[in-house]
Amino acid sequence: MDLFDINSLFPQLVLALGAALAGGNGLALWHHRQGKRPEDLGELRVGRARWLVVVGLIMAGWGLATLIT
Protein backbone atom coordinates (compact mmCIF):
# COMPACT_ATOMS: atom_id res chain seq x y z
CA MET A 1 0.00 0.00 0.00
CA ASP A 2 1.46 3.31 -1.10
CA LEU A 3 0.76 6.21 1.25
CA PHE A 4 0.05 8.67 -1.57
CA ASP A 5 -1.83 6.28 -3.83
CA ILE A 6 -4.81 8.13 -5.31
CA ASN A 7 -6.98 4.98 -5.13
CA SER A 8 -6.61 4.81 -1.35
CA LEU A 9 -7.04 8.55 -0.75
CA PHE A 10 -10.82 8.44 -0.26
CA PRO A 11 -10.74 5.54 2.25
CA GLN A 12 -7.95 7.32 4.14
CA LEU A 13 -10.05 10.48 4.33
CA VAL A 14 -13.11 8.52 5.50
CA LEU A 15 -10.99 6.77 8.13
CA ALA A 16 -9.56 10.06 9.37
CA LEU A 17 -12.93 11.81 9.45
CA GLY A 18 -14.61 8.88 11.20
CA ALA A 19 -11.86 8.63 13.80
CA ALA A 20 -12.03 12.38 14.46
CA LEU A 21 -15.81 12.26 14.72
CA ALA A 22 -15.79 9.34 17.15
CA GLY A 23 -12.82 10.63 19.13
CA GLY A 24 -14.04 14.19 19.53
CA ASN A 25 -17.56 13.27 20.57
CA GLY A 26 -16.28 10.47 22.80
CA LEU A 27 -14.02 12.95 24.54
CA ALA A 28 -16.92 15.38 24.97
CA LEU A 29 -19.02 12.61 26.53
CA TRP A 30 -16.15 11.62 28.81
CA HIS A 31 -15.63 15.21 29.98
CA HIS A 32 -19.38 15.55 30.54
CA ARG A 33 -19.31 12.46 32.75
CA GLN A 34 -16.40 13.87 34.73
CA GLY A 35 -18.37 17.04 35.37
CA LYS A 36 -16.12 19.31 33.31
CA ARG A 37 -18.02 21.90 31.30
CA PRO A 38 -16.74 24.43 28.78
CA GLU A 39 -17.52 27.98 29.78
CA ASP A 40 -18.39 29.57 26.45
CA LEU A 41 -20.18 26.69 24.72
CA GLY A 42 -23.77 25.58 25.08
CA GLU A 43 -25.17 22.47 26.71
CA LEU A 44 -24.00 19.06 25.51
CA ARG A 45 -26.64 17.06 23.66
CA VAL A 46 -25.82 13.58 24.89
CA GLY A 47 -28.04 11.71 22.44
CA ARG A 48 -26.56 13.47 19.44
CA ALA A 49 -23.01 12.96 20.72
CA ARG A 50 -23.63 9.23 21.15
CA TRP A 51 -25.12 9.01 17.65
CA LEU A 52 -22.09 10.77 16.19
CA VAL A 53 -19.73 8.39 18.00
CA VAL A 54 -21.57 5.45 16.40
CA VAL A 55 -21.48 7.08 12.95
CA GLY A 56 -17.78 7.87 13.37
CA LEU A 57 -16.99 4.28 14.34
CA ILE A 58 -18.88 2.97 11.32
CA MET A 59 -17.03 5.36 9.02
CA ALA A 60 -13.65 4.52 10.54
CA GLY A 61 -14.37 0.80 10.32
CA TRP A 62 -15.39 1.08 6.69
CA GLY A 63 -12.29 3.09 5.82
CA LEU A 64 -9.99 0.68 7.63
CA ALA A 65 -11.64 -2.38 6.07
CA THR A 66 -11.30 -0.85 2.62
CA LEU A 67 -7.62 -0.08 3.17
CA ILE A 68 -6.86 -3.56 4.50
CA THR A 69 -8.52 -5.44 1.63
Positive or negative torsion for Cα 49, 29, 19, 40: positive
Contact 53, 25 (CB under 8 A): yes
Q: What's the pLDDT at 56?
A: 97
- Region class of 35: left (phi > 0), else alpha (psi between -120 and 50), else beta: left
Digit-coded pLDDT (tens) for 2-48 = 666 788 889 999 999 999 999 999 999 999 888 887 766 778 889 99
Q: How much is the pTM?
A: 0.82
Delimit the domains of the chain by residue range: 7-68
